[in-house]
Amino acid sequence: MHDTARNYILRGKSIGFVPTMGALHEGHMSLVRRSCHENDITIVSIFVNPLQFGPSEDFQQYPRDFDADSERLRNEEVDILFLPDSSSMYPDRFDTYIEVGDIAKKLCGAFRPGHFRGVATVVAKLFNTVNPVRAYFGQKDFQQTLVIKQMIRDLDMNVDSIVCPTVREKDGIAVSSRNVYLDAAQRDAATVIFKSLNEASESIKAGERDAGSVRDMMRQRIMTEEMISEIDYIGVYDPETLDEASLAEKEVLLAVAVRIGKTRLIDNMIVDFEKKRLSA
Amino acid sequence: MHDTARNYILRGKSIGFVPTMGALHEGHMSLVRRSCHENDITIVSIFVNPLQFGPSEDFQQYPRDFDADSERLRNEEVDILFLPDSSSMYPDRFDTYIEVGDIAKKLCGAFRPGHFRGVATVVAKLFNTVNPVRAYFGQKDFQQTLVIKQMIRDLDMNVDSIVCPTVREKDGIAVSSRNVYLDAAQRDAATVIFKSLNEASESIKAGERDAGSVRDMMRQRIMTEEMISEIDYIGVYDPETLDEASLAEKEVLLAVAVRIGKTRLIDNMIVDFEKKRLSA
């Protein structure tokens, strides 16, 4: 992969990169299409990265469907599907990690110790191998996009990270590889997440400035759904620092992480207060 | 620097890189000459990296002599002297670190907590900026060369790290920017380090197999010198793992770290037992 990438670069080709864990859905495909549009060459990687799963998390069960994935990619102008295996990514005596600080400790980082260390490390490895000028990530994993931006900036990586809007089903649910874990009733219950984000966003756009009130409203809406077994976090945050906001006076992040049964679901929405515009 | 390096690469030029902290001496110059010999383009960086100094270490006093350094480099075929400043290397909210595990915790790592984290982080930043195919390091900082090799391998960096022999003064002292800290009497006392390494190497070549005996001999020799105020470590190690060796049956590393007054000095020697050859 190193050599292939280097050859493209020597021929003056720009490489766009979409790192994934497979189980590709419309969210991934939107990244792939954008990369194909913006670069000469698009490389997609599929690697279920053990380093970003905690010991009690779903690494084993994580959905894998190589045939469906490659079929989906065949319909796009993807140049290379890169499929590293675990033993080449993490050979014996692998012992180097990239630690991103503060931004990786908040929200999901507080509930998934080591997760963002695993993400930063594998993304750095893939960047070093694939040598992209642009890499594409979904806004659904909002904190991940901040962690990667921080790493790129701090380590002087020569990559533009591009964040693409969350793709949603008709009922508002953010598409996610983990949605397959949900049975029909859980799937239905999960729609409360988007409703909660949407209501909060509407209330801010209607003039609500008190972030605490917005948070309480979100929480109350979520708790109307009995199948939500746990709330990891919910609230209104500064989209740069992920600190809790007290006032919704400038752009804010609404973010939620909940559990339905054993399935952990996250979603978020940016409310751009000044432009009174909503992007998700 | 990113753009300059990219332009060289697009023109098919190979970049050799010598990262330094300045106060250039013959050790550095041997790296520079080798890089000039092996690459189309040679880039030398000078950056006294605050991240690799502990709070009680000599960051402030570390010798800086830009005029002498640039004069020395002017006499070689160096293409670019790269001089990043602290505020561009570590801007506000810098918060990402590369942690190399085990190999960075032993020997010097045990006495200088955070040192190799600082080294790995700055070298990764410089690699990302300079984009070399080869980077040159001196064997005198032997553990550093292992830490960097581990990082390169684990993070899939596309760089060859090349380790060049320690350059010594006529009396055997390894050249080092820190030697300027020594007054005449200390400078004289410091020759005991090389004597100790040399005697140990000779005894192994003469048939001594017991690493404990070799270590004791080294320690005794060092302790004949009253100006040695402290021994951080001394002994016979596996040159891959830096674990203490019990038998000198294959290639071993003889390594020493001592203090003379406030000055910390390190030195080492590889004894290649099988070939009965000594390299320093």
> Is A272:A245 a contact under the CB 8 Å cutoff?
no
Please tell me the predicted confidence (pLDDT) of residue B207.
94
* Matching residue, tokens 């190589």: A66
Cα→Cα distances B172→A211, B176, B236, B268, Å: 69, 12, 19, 12
Q: What is the pLDDT of residues B108-145, one digit of tens each?
A: 999 999 999 999 999 999 999 999 999 999 999 999 99
Per-residue confidence band for B249, with pLDDT thresholds at 50, 70 and 90: confident
| Share of chain B residues as helix, strand and coil, in percent rounded to the nearest 5 | 40, 25, 35
Please tell me the predicted confidence (pLDDT) of residue A249.
87
Among this protein's residues, is B28 annotated catalytic?
A: yes
* Matching residue, tokens 């804010």: A252
Average pLDDT in the A127-150 region? 98
Please tell me the predicted confidence (pLDDT) of residue A275.
54
Check whether A215 has a pLDDT greater than 70.
yes
Q: What is the pLDDT of residues B11-60, one digit of tens each?
A: 999 999 999 999 999 999 999 999 999 999 999 999 999 999 999 999 99
CATH class of A177-279: alpha beta
Percent with pLDDT over 70 in chain B: 97
Average pLDDT in the A113-125 region? 98
Check whether B276 has a pLDDT greater than 60.
no
By C-alpha distance, which of B177, B164, B188, B163 is closest to B46?
B177
Q: Is A99 in Cβ contact with B101 (below 8 Å)?
A: no
Cα→Cα distances A50→A43, A117, A177, A225, B245, Å: 21, 11, 16, 32, 34
Give the residue on B whose Cα is nearest the Cα of A89. Answer: B154
Q: Is B12 in Cβ contact with A9 (below 8 Å)?
A: no
Cα→Cα distances A70→A36, A45, A81, A124, B148, Å: 16, 11, 8, 24, 37
- What average pLDDT does the structure give for chain A? 96
Per-residue confidence band for B246, with pLDDT thresholds at 50, 70 and 90: very high
Radius of gyration of the CA atoms of chain B, in A:
19
Nearest to A95 among B12, B100, B121 (CB): B100
Check whether A242 has a pLDDT greater than 60.
yes
The length of chain A in residues reads 280
Predicted-complex ipTM score: 0.96
Per-residue confidence band for A180, with pLDDT thresholds at 50, 70 and 90: very high
Window 66-125 of A: residues touching B by CB (8 A cutoff) are 91, 94-103, 120-121, 124-125
Give the residue on A whose Cα is nearest the Cα of B152. Answer: A96
Q: Where are the domains of chain B?
A: 2-164, 177-279
Check whether A193 has a pLDDT greater than 60.
yes
Pairing assessment for the beta strands A160-164 and A134-138 based on DSSP bridges: parallel
Average pLDDT in the B91-95 region? 98
**Pairwise CA distance, residues B213 & B210, whole Å:** 5
Nearest to B95 among A129, A154, A157 (CB): A154
Average pLDDT in the A148-174 region? 98
Q: Is B96 in Cβ contact with A151 (below 8 Å)?
A: yes
Please tell me the predicted confidence (pLDDT) of residue A19.
98
Percent with pLDDT over 90 in chain A: 96
**Pairwise CA distance, residues A40 & A35, whole Å:** 9
Partners of residue A137 on adjacent β-strands? A163
Check whether A60 has a pLDDT greater than 80.
yes
- What average pLDDT does the structure give for chain B? 96
> Is B237:B197 a contact under the CB 8 Å cutoff?
no
Question: Any idea which fold A2-164 has?
Answer: Rossmann fold (3.40.50)
* B contact test, residue of A49, A82, A95, A105 with most B CBs within 10 A: A95
Q: What is the pLDDT of residues B146-168, one digit of tens each?
A: 999 999 999 999 999 999 999 99
> Is A124:A51 a contact under the CB 8 Å cutoff?
no
